Chains A and B, each alone.
Chain A
Amino acid sequence: MLYRHFKGTFVAAVAGTTLMATPAYAEQITFISQGGAYQEAQTRAILDPVAKKLGITINQDSSPDAWPVIKTQGATGKPVWDVVDTPTKDCIRGGEQGLIEKLDFNKIPNAAKMPEEYKTPYSAAYEFYSSVLAYNKSKFGDNPPQSWADFWDVKKFPGTRALRNHPLATLEAALLADGVAPDKIYPIDVDRAFKKLEEIKPYITVWWTSGGQSAQLLSDGEVDMEMAWNGRVSAVQKEGGDVGFTFNQGFLQNTSLCILKNAPNLETAIEFVNEALAPEIQANLPLEIDYGPGNPEAFKTGKIPAERATELPSAPDNAAKQVLISTQWWSSPEGEAVQKRWAEFIQKP
């Protein structure tokens, strides 16, 4: 983490000096995403086509954790980034702290048909992934665990278990296991969730921290069931792992696009956001990587084969089985307090 912070600040500093040296173009933007295979996929699917269509230059950069850089750029009052693809939480708290522009959705007609819960005053959903219940097929045969109540039922479903070492989605799973209706999860009854988690705690073999670790646990047979990100589970499947997962009671999560306050190329940035959310463009993403489009209209373009759509977390049929994570709640003071309580919960024997 320390390294990331240094790196982020360094990149920002370098970017700052180079941009100041060249005269400001109206027809370019600086776009930040999270790097790796994901950024390469969206370059082919979204960034290149949009740059071509609008006739602009998109300067890319990546930052696995954009938040500290958003904060430092905001502190100078002269940000060098324009558009950021980041967890929605960063857009909301950034907006509340005056670091992120409020979006004028009149200028973003492509977002008009997106569900209201996919948008905030500061952001619009860009792509979707899901935290799902994954399991070892050979262990459970025809009767795999299908809900969080099953995951908590150690008698009916004996076996080793893993959960993510993070409260987000884990608290929600505990509430579903405790019988809370999916539409009654928020605001989270934190005490109830932790009480339910205490029940399963002795049976958790690993609290995983990275996506790669969760995949390794599943493919090595170290755990028989776990919560994991859908893309990681399908990667294990593609490598021949005998594993399965269900979208039932999965947790739909997304990253969003938002624009930095006083962005150097504000007008172009808004044009870019609108174009990046166009159904035709959004439909390209799932053809490159296991993530769903942020704009569900993409499913109506006919570009995404029906077979492919069933694999995507945000396909309407799959989305209906899942709970949409409320970033609004997680960026509230209650949500922040939970992250503190989490470490204490994990640590206590």
Chain B
Amino acid sequence: MFLLLTPALAVIVALLVVPLLWLAWQSVYHNGFTLENYRRILTEDIYWHSFLQTFRIAFIVTAATALLGYPVAYVAASLPRRWSIIVLAMVVLPFWTSVLVRAYAWLILLQRTGIINSTLKSLGLIDVPLILVNNEFGTVIATVHILLPFMVLPLYATMQKIPAELTMAGASLGGTPSHVFFRVFLPLSLPGIIAGAVLVFVLTLGFYITPELLGGGRTFMVSMLVSRNVELYNEWGAASSISVVLLACVFAIFWAASRLIPVERLMGMR
């Protein structure tokens, strides 16, 4: 059986594990063993600011996708199968458009002379255009849009498996609809929320194109630090040390989440 895994494993080891270890090695070895790259991360403000901003954006995006995605998944799970497929198809459809195209689309919608501002203006709701993009706000909107399917799909998978009999039983025992939802359905859907949240959170941490195009230059996420350091120091170690720290953060998040729900569930295997 293991023989069947060998090609895939070989590809992962050769193209992912080996380069990753090589980069990690470069971060501590440059003409001798050095912790200079890590000292820099700990002592210079810019790294702290970027990590803080990146985690803040990841939190906001995770919360927003959960709030937007939960009702969608709920509707999809309670509809007959034929209809739920249509709802899910609509969730996944934008997925097939490139991230770059979607970032530019948001730019066109959100900019000062964009569709949203000109509509609000013609309705007489605003006099001065709202600043919706070229800042953290625009970055968050586009990121939420891109990552929404990663929240909806695990939520749907979990909700679909919640037996309808349980909510019916709750109702027959005299629970009001909201009572049944909060005491029965919501707790049972929690693993889906956690799985979706971990996925969205971790994916946001590595976002590059969206903040680069929609952040107006002042949204400086960790991935952008990596490319800045390649240009600034002209050595791999200065950049790879940042990705090593980020990777450690991701592992910590997965570890914490796996204490809450089993790993295979987190990865959507069950």
**Contact status B230-A205, CB under 8 Å:** no
| A2 at the binding interface (Cβ < 8 Å) | yes
Given contact pairs A2-B227, A2-B230, A220-B113, A343 touches B134 in the complex (Cβ within 8 A): no
Given contact pairs A71-B234, A165-B217, A344 touches B113 in the complex (Cβ within 8 A): no
| Partner of A343 from B212, B216, B228 at Cβ < 8 Å | B228
With CB as the reference atom, state the residue of chain B lying closest to A336. B232
| A157 at the binding interface (Cβ < 8 Å) | no
Contacts of A67 in B (CB 8 A): 234
**Contact status B46-A205, CB under 8 Å:** no
In B219-259, the 8 Å CB interface with A consists of 220, 226-228, 230-232, 234, 239
**Contact status A68-B112, CB under 8 Å:** no
Given contact pairs A221-B112, A221-B113, A222-B113, A347 touches B218 in the complex (Cβ within 8 A): yes
A213 to B226, CA, bound (A): 21
**Contact status B218-A346, CB under 8 Å:** yes
| A160 at the binding interface (Cβ < 8 Å) | yes
**Contact status B232-A340, CB under 8 Å:** yes
| A1 at the binding interface (Cβ < 8 Å) | yes
A340 to B218, CA, bound (A): 15
A 306-349 to B, binary, CB cutoff 8 A, 1 in contact else 0: 00000000000000000000000000000000011001101110
In B176-196, the 8 Å CB interface with A consists of none
With CB as the reference atom, state the residue of chain B lying closest to A348. B49
Q: Would you give the shortest CB distance from A166 to chain B, in whole angstroms?
A: 10
Query: Interface residue count for A (Cβ, 8 Å)?
Result: 24
Contacts of B53 in A (CB 8 A): 347
Contacts of B213 in A (CB 8 A): 213
Q: How many contacts between A and B, using CB within 8 angstroms?
A: 53
| B143 at the binding interface (Cβ < 8 Å) | no
Contacts of B160 in A (CB 8 A): none
| Partner of B111 from A2, A207, A222, A346 at Cβ < 8 Å | A222
| A138 at the binding interface (Cβ < 8 Å) | no
**Contact status A347-B113, CB under 8 Å:** no
**Contact status A207-B217, CB under 8 Å:** yes
| B84 at the binding interface (Cβ < 8 Å) | no
Q: Considering residues B212, B217, B228, B234, which has the most beta carbons from chain A within 10 angstroms of its beta carbon? A: B217
| Partner of A1 from B44, B112, B230 at Cβ < 8 Å | B230
A205 to B112, CA, bound (A): 10
**Contact status A160-B230, CB under 8 Å:** no
| B18 at the binding interface (Cβ < 8 Å) | no
Given contact pairs A209-B217, A343-B46, A343-B228, A68 touches B234 in the complex (Cβ within 8 A): yes
| A5 at the binding interface (Cβ < 8 Å) | yes
In A187-228, the 8 Å CB interface with B consists of 205-209, 213, 220-222
With CB as the reference atom, state the residue of chain B lying closest to A340. B232
**Contact status B227-A343, CB under 8 Å:** no
**Contact status B232-A347, CB under 8 Å:** no
**Contact status B216-A5, CB under 8 Å:** no
Task: For chain B, give the interface size range.
Answer: 20 to 34
| Partner of A339 from B50, B112, B226, B232 at Cβ < 8 Å | B232
Given contact pairs A165-B217, A220-B111, A347 touches B50 in the complex (Cβ within 8 A): yes
**Contact status A222-B112, CB under 8 Å:** yes
**Contact status B234-A346, CB under 8 Å:** no
A220 to B112, CA, bound (A): 9
Given contact pairs A222-B111, A222-B112, A347-B46, A5 touches B230 in the complex (Cβ within 8 A): yes
Contacts of A207 in B (CB 8 A): 216-218
**Contact status A344-B46, CB under 8 Å:** yes
Contacts of B45 in A (CB 8 A): 344
A241 to B158, CA, bound (A): 53
In B198-228, the 8 Å CB interface with A consists of 212-213, 216-218, 220, 226-228
A206 to B228, CA, bound (A): 18
With CB as the reference atom, state the residue of chain A lying closest to B219. A347
**Contact status A160-B112, CB under 8 Å:** yes
| B131 at the binding interface (Cβ < 8 Å) | yes
Q: Would you give the shortest CB distance from A331 to chain B, in whole angstroms?
A: 13
Contacts of A5 in B (CB 8 A): 230
With CB as the reference atom, state the residue of chain B lying closest to A208. B217
Q: Would you give the shortest CB distance from A227 to chain B, in whole angstroms?
A: 13
Contacts of B218 in A (CB 8 A): 207, 346-347
With CB as the reference atom, state the residue of chain A lying closest to B49. A347
Q: Would you give the shortest CB distance from B147 to chain A, in whole angstroms?
A: 23
| Partner of B212 from A2, A209, A340 at Cβ < 8 Å | A209
With CB as the reference atom, state the residue of chain B lying closest to A166. B217
Beyond A206-B216, A347-B49, A347-B220, 11 additional contacts (C-beta under 8 Å) are: A2-B239, A160-B112, A165-B217, A205-B134, A206-B217, A207-B218, A222-B111, A222-B112, A340-B232, A343-B228, A346-B217
Give chain B's interface residues, CB within 8 Å of chain A: 44-46, 49-50, 53, 111-113, 131, 134, 212-213, 216-218, 220, 226-228, 230-232, 234, 239
Offer 8 A-B interface pairs, CB within 8 angstroms, sorted by A: A1-B231, A2-B230, A5-B230, A71-B234, A205-B216, A222-B112, A347-B49, A347-B220
